Amino acid sequence: MARLIYVPVVHSIAEMGSVAPAYQAAFIARYGERKWTERTSEFGVIWRLIAEMLDGLKLDPHRVRLYQDSLPVCGHEARIVGDLAAKGSPNHQILENLMKAGATLVGTESPALLLDEYALLHSPDRTEAKAAALLEARDRFIAKQIDETLGEDETGILFMGALHKVSRFLPPRIKVEVIAPKSR
């Protein structure tokens, strides 16, 4: 039986790319600078707890496969992770450390579906139904990718945004465990 550690993630500013300044400005305008500082500090605590929890599992890194929200199957996965880790993404820094220890990074998402999501985010025709259907399509692809790449007696670690429901599309041969630390 395969094992999948499911880590619901909070996305950091480093992962938001070009939309980060607008997101930060909108958040501060609505909630204030103090709330922004509290929020980013809380994210830091959560990521430290995630790293500690993963370390506490004492996994054999050579039997670990890593899956990441929004990481396309493209042949450049390690470079993408390295670039985001260098920009300060704690999620990607954890991935990079696990890779250095011997874990295998796996492209997780369909590039076409990621492009569809980007287009939908900027479309005036966006509806909740369209967004939900696209999210489900992404989840189905991710589950298929995990099923096809995670071998028996291996452990996968899936870092995935909280809106996703990948586990409902995984086959029974994959035992799912969720780790979701809270900072408070």
Q: Tell me the mean pLDDT per 10 residues along the chain, length 184.
A: 92 61 73 82 86 96 97 97 92 97 98 92 89 96 98 97 92 95 64
pLDDT tens-digit series, residues 103-136 = 999 999 999 999 998 888 888 998 999 999 999 9
| Tokens 């995990």 sit on residue | 146
* Structure-block tokens of residue 23: 């997101």
DSSP state at residue 66: E
Q: For residues 136 and 129, give the distance between their C-alpha atoms in angstroms, rounded to a whole number.
A: 11
What are 175's strand-pairing partners? 3
- DSSP readout, 9-55? E---HHHHGGGHHHHHHHHHHHH-HHHHHHHHHHHHHHHHHHHHHHH
